[in-house]
Amino acid sequence: MIGIPATIDNDVYGTEETIGFDTAVNTAVEIIDKIRDTAISHERIFIVEVMGRKRGFLALEVGISVGAEVILIPENPIKLTDIVNLMEENAKKGKRAGIIVAAEGFGDTSKLAREMQGQTESEIRLSILGYAQRGGSPTARSRLLASLFAEKAVELIYQHQGNRAIGLQDGKIVSVELEKSAKNRKPLDLRLLEVAEMLAT
């Protein structure tokens, strides 16, 4: 058996990127760019929920790419008061609009929107992207990755190597033990949250 990682969550241990992740990121970015136009014109704060029930890889990369003011992921719990304070500080600087990108695994975004509305004068809106992130035409990046992963899988089969998982590491197509990939948790670089915060100010 040869495993090929294909999930928009990008949470498979042993590979830096999974098939479909780049497509999902680009799809979400395209939609959120349009939402930001509305947020700016109506001076509203939009909470945009993206997929990621257990991990925040998708929300983190999308959030950085769209310049979100706040990124909410399961790996980094944030109190409601901290979120409200941050958005109010932005308002004092003249930023009346804002984008909050939240992974679905962070919590109940509907409840978050209601609670934020009760603690701020800004208009809060919620947009759940849902399954739109999973559809559409694959990006060139996702197609290339799928082709390279498939080539490596066939190569391993010809070499009579089984129980391996294909992955991308340091720009190279590699394989790791399937059991190791299945049993280990892929680390998320939380330092990227600091980068996102710096870019949003």
Question: What is the C-alpha separation between 112 and 110, in angstroms, rounded?
Answer: 5
Residues 6+ apart with CB under 8 A from 159: none
Question: What is the C-alpha separation between 19 and 191, in angstroms, rounded?
Answer: 24
Residues 6+ apart with CB under 8 A from 154: none
Residue at token pair 């058996």: 1
Q: Is 189 a catalytic residue?
A: no
The catalytic position among 9, 22, 82, 170 is 9
Q: What is the DSSP letter of 6?
A: B
- Indicate which residues carry an active-site annotation: 9
